Amino acid sequence: MYNDRITLTPQDILDKEFKIDARGFRPQEVDKFLDIVINDYNEFITLIKELKSEIRVLNDENAKLKNELRRIKANIEAAEATSAGNQVSNVDLLRRLSQLEKVVFGKNE
């Protein structure tokens, strides 16, 4: 995914060997290698910023979805409670109607 953006691997850095002149390592060779390392570091910093931003967006979306899920669950529970309450009240209404019929029609049991 990010391999096309990063040039060096940790193993590349570890295995790098510079040619030695009379006064030490060749400065041009070291400078070229350090330029590559600096570019990779800059790319890593950019990637880290992008990923942190993506994490923030995903966390916000996750929080919104969790809130929506809680709200939906609460609505479902309220609907179930209302439905159960209507069933009880329907039974209660039927009992009241039965008692009224007994009173109106004079049927005593």
Asked whether residue 108 carries a pLDDT value surpassing 60, the answer given is no
Residues 49-104: tens digit of each pLDDT: 999 999 999 999 999 999 999 999 998 888 877 776 666 677 777 888 888 887 77
d(CA 21, CA 29): 11
Q: Where in the chain are the domains? A: 10-105
Q: What is the pTM of this model?
A: 0.56
Range with the lowest mean pLDDT among 30-34, 37-41, 68-72, 86-90?
86-90
Checking if the pLDDT of 22 tops 80, the result is no
Task: Quote the distance between the C-alpha of residue 57 and its chain's center.
Answer: 8
Asked whether 65 and 59 are in contact (CB, 8 A), the reply is: no
